[in-house]
Amino acid sequence: MKDWLEEINWNSDGLVPAIAQDYQSGRVLMMAWMNRESLALTVAENRAIYWSRSRRKLWRKGEDSGHVQKLHELRLDCDADVVILIVEQLGGIACHTGRESCFYRRFEEGAWKTIDPVLKDPDAIYTPGHSHE
């Protein structure tokens, strides 16, 4: 049987885009990157673990904020180059800005308009000096 990780079309950096989607509402919460190790650990630990390109290390979603993403389902697209994590977003906040989703701006009349409220002040979520991602 073929290794399931071998079926993914990793990009030239060894990464695959990963979209996190709420398991109840279907709302897209965020997009991040995964490498082989982070995807394998996501399945093993049943929680979203991404690869932080800026920090060059594994990023266990919620390790600093407490906003863990519990994995309900993992899907691979037809070209095998994007994964979707269907997750339960603990705390209801996926974005480092304190919003439910990272996609909180909508294009209206030639400009980006913020349409989602901040649910929790980021300063109350993260410790000083933490690099939000």
30 located within any domain: yes
Tell me which H or E stretch contains 42.
helix 36-45
21 located within any domain: yes
pLDDT digits (tens, 9 = 90+) for 34-90: 999 999 999 999 999 999 999 999 999 999 899 999 999 999 999 999 999 999 999
CB 29 within 8 A of CB 100: yes
6 phi, psi to nearest 5 deg: -75, -20
122 located within any domain: no
Q: Which domain holds residue 37?
A: 2-91
**What percentage of the chain has pLDDT greater than the value 90?**
88
The reported pLDDT for the residue numbered 2 is: 72
Helix and strand tally (H, E) in the chain?
2, 8
Task: Give SS3 for 1.
Answer: coil
* Top-confidence residue, 37 or 124: 37
CATH number, position 15: 3.10.20.810
Q: Annotated binding site: which residue ranges?
A: 77-79, 81, 95, 102
pLDDT exceeds 90 at position 121: yes
38 located within any domain: yes
d(CA 78, CA 80): 5
* Top-confidence residue, 129 or 125: 125
Q: Annotated binding site for Zn(2+): which residue ranges?
A: 78, 95, 102
CA 123 from centre of chain:
20
116 located within any domain: no
40 located within any domain: yes
Sequence-separated (6 or more) residues with CB below 8 Å from residue 78: none
Average of pLDDT values for 103-113? 98
The reported pLDDT for the residue numbered 36 is: 97
C-alpha distance from residue 93 to each of 9, 33, 78 (Å): 30, 19, 29
Domain count of the fold of the chain: 1
Strands (E), 10-56: 16-22, 28-34, 49-52
The reported pLDDT for the residue numbered 55 is: 92
The reported pLDDT for the residue numbered 61 is: 95
Q: Identify the bridge partners of residue 85 per DSSP, sorted by sequence position.
A: 20, 74
Q: Annotated binding site for Mg(2+): which residue ranges?
A: 77, 79, 81
111 located within any domain: no
102 located within any domain: no
